[in-house]
Structure 1
Amino acid sequence: MELGLKGMKAAVTGGSRGIGKAIAMHLAQEGCDVSICARGEEGIAATRAEIEAEGVRSFGTALQGRDGDAVRGWMRETCDVFGGLDLLVCSLSGGGGTNEEGYWRRSFEIDVMSATRAVDEAYPHLKKSGKGSILVISSMAAAETFVSPMAYNAMKASLVTWSKQLAEQYAPKGIRVNCLEPGPTMFPGSNWEMIKVARSRTYAGVLRQQPTRRMGEVDEIAKSAVFLASPAASWVTGATLRVDGGYTKGVQF
């Protein structure tokens, strides 16, 4: 299938590792110029080298997701360097954690506000594109009671609602907005890698509830994400796609 991505300009928050990196790499392989932001300078540099090895341009900035000025600045620089923007993928996340108030504030700033700030800066460029597309990475934890009460679950649920409302508002402007809910996904340095060792019973319990009896892989998530973000999905907006290997039990009507 031709996705229609060649020559397009894309930006991915949280694009130096895990699902975000896999999405960035698949976009590059489809011919997109790709900009990324994330915390670590080494990860940014390594991922940029991999992107450029695909024969496309890259840009990247190391930043803290809670730093609103930094997120906005990266987005502005991306659009300046690339001369515009066609696709924005919001995948930055603070990950799991405790139920303490400080963590709720941190999760809100990283998971929710980094996305809203990036979208605000990208909007005029996506509108000008004519094929503008925003993909928000949520989690199946937004839809399923999962492990324990956490800020992470609530923040991911808020992203689903926000992306749907944004889709309604932006559709007349020629911008599509969709949401992706990955299930439990394993990659080096992931929370699941830590849980497998430190909380082996929890890990085993999750696998027992998983019909496929395994964790997802980042490429499995990224391929669905790239299709949803691409012009090949031109009449899909306001949708939430769950890619979880059947983990969630509710029927999606």
Structure 2
Amino acid sequence: MTGGTRGIGNAIVHVLAEEGCALATCGRAPERIESLRRQMDAAGVRFHGETVQGRDGEAMRNWMRNSVEALGGLDIFIASLSAGGGTDEERYWYRNFEIDLMSAVRGVEEALPALRRSQSPSILILATMAASETFVAPMAYNAIKAALVTWSKQLSQQLAPEGIRVNCLSPGPTMFKGSNWEMIRVARSRIYDNAVRQQPTRRMGTAEEIARSAVFLASPAASWCNGSHLLVDGGFSKRVPF
């Protein structure tokens, strides 16, 4: 999976490891890759990690090829890499386009040959609740994540005849160390407090709660889920998806 060194992506890596998976991930911080490598080695998990900048298409493709070789195959590909929020300036549109959308597209394209050889192939794309419902997150981030939702649905139809499932998961407001919400709680407490008030449980989700739903959707346990878009937000969103 891409983006497995921090936050929700890192939680997914750990849940997959608990389930006995061999793992490969990438991230932009070499010290985080090495820290994760030590954790996986200590747990006896087969692991491959590389430092990759999300905008670097060739590096992304190389990482995927190296991962398939290191692991001896591929059953699940999870696209979790994200540039995060930012502002609505034009440069952030390009940033989210390259990192959130195109890193996923390139990863899927490079993963497909190996997935076609798997007995239970699956692709999971991570988006956001803000792709489906108006929210405070920057418009560039929301719009690009919405593109991921649409793309994953179309991809599911295209790949279904080959037995490759494609699903999308959209987390709601989630708190973890270093998250945007952690910063907002300090710098813009009114926005944070308002978000918590909108949450029926009066708390934000945890990265592990999102991760367990993600691992289910990516796993053979969800064999009849294809083209699904799962909101994991603790009831934050109010729309009824007829």
Alignment TM-score, normalising by the size of structure 1: 0.94
| Consecutive unaligned residues in structure 1, runs of 5 or more | 1-11
Matched, 1:105 2:94: yes
Match of 1:196 in 2: 185
Matched, 1:169 2:158: yes
Match of 1:7 in 2: none
Deviation at 1:174, TM superposition (A): 1.2
Q: Distance in 2 between matches of 1:227 and 1:40?
A: 28
Deviation at 1:70, TM superposition (A): 0.8
Matching of residues 153-232 of structure 1 within 5 Å: 153-232=142-221
RMSD: 0.9
* CA offsets 1:18-41 (integer angstroms, 9 cap, x no match): 000000111111010000101101
Q: Distance in 2 between matches of 1:198 and 1:64?
A: 28
Partners of 1:99 and 1:149 within 8 A in 2: yes
Partners of 1:25 and 1:50 within 8 A in 2: no
Q: Which of 57, 61, 68 is residue 68 of structure 1 equivalent to?
A: 57
Q: Distance in 1 between matches of 2:193 and 2:74?
A: 42
Q: Distance in 2 between matches of 1:50 and 1:89?
A: 20
Deviation at 1:48, TM superposition (A): 1.9
Match of 1:55 in 2: 44
Match of 2:72 in 1: 83
Deviation at 1:149, TM superposition (A): 4.5
Q: Distance in 2 between matches of 1:162 and 1:201?
A: 34
**Percent of residue pairs identical:** 63
Q: Which of 21, 33, 49 is residue 44 of structure 1 equivalent to?
A: 33
Matched, 1:142 2:149: no
Q: Distance in 2 between matches of 1:41 and 1:72?
A: 18
Q: Which of 184, 201, 225 is residue 236 of structure 1 equivalent to?
A: 225
Q: Distance in 1 between matches of 2:128 and 2:195?
A: 15
Count of residues paired in the alignment: 242
Q: Distance in 1 between matches of 2:183 and 2:138?
A: 19
In structure 1, give the amino acid aligned to 2:216.
F
Partners of 1:37 and 1:74 within 8 A in 2: yes
Question: Cα–Cα, structure 1 residues 29 and 105, in superposed 2: closer, same or farther, change >3 Å?
Answer: same
* CA offsets 1:42-61 (integer angstroms, 9 cap, x no match): 11111122223332200001
Q: Which of 141, 160, 179 is residue 152 of structure 1 equivalent to?
A: 141
